[in-house]
Amino acid sequence: MRKSWWKVLTVIILVYVVVGGLLLDVPRLHILNETIRALYFHVPMWFGMIILLFASVIFSLRYLRTGIKDFDTRAAEFANVGVLFGIFGILTGMLWAQFAWGQWWSGDPQQNGAAIGLLIYLAYFVLRGSLEDDGQKARISAVYNIFAFAALVPLLFILPRMTDSLHPGSGGNPGFNAYDLDSRLRMIFYPAVIGWTLLGVWITSIRIRIRRLSLNQDV
Amino acid sequence: MKKLFGVLLILLFAYISNSQNKLEVTDQDYINSDVEMADQFRADGKIYVLTGIILIILFGIVTYLVIIDRKVARIEKERGKTFD
């Protein structure tokens, strides 16, 4: 538990997010009603996922440049927790969509993009699991990881905005589309993104340490 | 690592600030009475029950995480490895 100040910070932020997210005022908007509070829980999953997966790519690049095995370990574990966040994002999004859009899955471009992106990342773990040789596994999966992230970014951030999407930030449903966040929502939303992401980093750090122990690997 | 963190922040804020073509949320949206919210639920004080339940789960998960963290630290110590 050395250097654990940021873990304490994580807990403080998350408590603030839960209490503030449930108790503070939110705008009274049609269709959304109280579910607007999902903004503090559903959306940070995606932000957290993209940050964790970005960290994973950085470590994959560093592995390819240096050949240090520990970077491969870190890349794999960051991807692992990133995908966990993505799965939470999909599940919470489906529940929210059932009540806001009327369907669990409406083939919304962003929903489809997220699903395809997660499948690409699941293939990353299949790939890792299927290679016997450690060096080969690390190298090939690092290259694949870069490809996966490069595919994920357009799937989540570019393609959905080029067509009509139910999600904010694109054309389409005017009753629901794209309310700008005001300062009161941001007061919780930004800490929520930071808090949930830090929780992901914490879980990742433990996974990395366990992996190092099981590999009997030095840093 | 600092550089990496800087890039992350820039990415994050570039995405967040990308809010063109959006409707403003106004103060009026906070006080209108024609949109139904869980007002009775709140007036009854039951929202505090819900908050309490979620906090218990959050604290439980965090405590569990801390215990795992310490356990890993103990094994690292036994093996003479002190990375964190």
Chain B residues in contact with A205 by the CB 8 A cut-off are 84
Q: For A51-120, give the secondary structure using H, E and C.
A: HHHHHHHHHHHHHHHHCCHHHHHHHHHHHHHHHHHHHHHHHHHHHHHHHHCCCCCCCCHHHHHHHHHHHH
* Structural domain spans, chain A: 5-23+31-215
CB A36 within 8 A of CB A87: no
Mean pLDDT of chain B, nearest integer: 80
Helix (H, G, I), strand (E, B) or coil at A179: strand
Nearest by CB: A22 against B15, B35, B50 = B50
ipTM exceeding 0.85, yes/no: no
DSSP 8-class letter at A158:
I
**What does the pLDDT look like over B7-23, one tens digit per residue?**
766 766 666 555 445 66
Report the chain B residue with the minimal C-alpha distance to residue A35: B37
Asked if A180 and B25 come within 8 Å (Cβ–Cβ), the reply is yes
- CB-nearest to A203 from B12, B65, B76 is B65
DSSP structure class, residue B25: P
Cβ(A168)–Cβ(A100) under 8 Å? no
pLDDT of residue A170: 54
Give CA–CA dist A74/B5, Å, rounded: 16
Contact A27/B36, CB-based, under 8 Å? Answer: no
For residue A206, give how far its alpha carbon lies from the nearest alpha carbon of chain B (Å).
6
For residue A51, count CB atoms less than 10 angstroms from its CB and return exposed for 0-12, middle for 13-18, buried for 19 or more. buried
Tell me: the pLDDT tens digits for B21-40?
A: 566 777 778 878 788 888 88
Q: Are A62 and A71 in contact (CB under 8 A)?
A: yes
* Residue with the larger pLDDT of the pair A167 and A191: A191
Query: From the CA of B38, how many Å to the nearest CA of chain A?
Result: 7
CA distances from B57 to A61, A104, A159 (A): 37, 26, 37
C-alpha to C-alpha distance for A65 and A78, rounded to whole angstroms: 18
Residues in chain A within 8 Å Cβ distance of B83: 209, 212, 218-219
**Are B30 and A25 in contact (CB < 8 Å)?**
yes
Contacts of A122 (CB under 8 A, 6+ apart): A83
User: What are A1-34's pLDDT values in tens digits?
Assistant: 557 899 999 999 999 999 999 998 888 887 888 8
**Domain residue spans of chain B:** 38-84
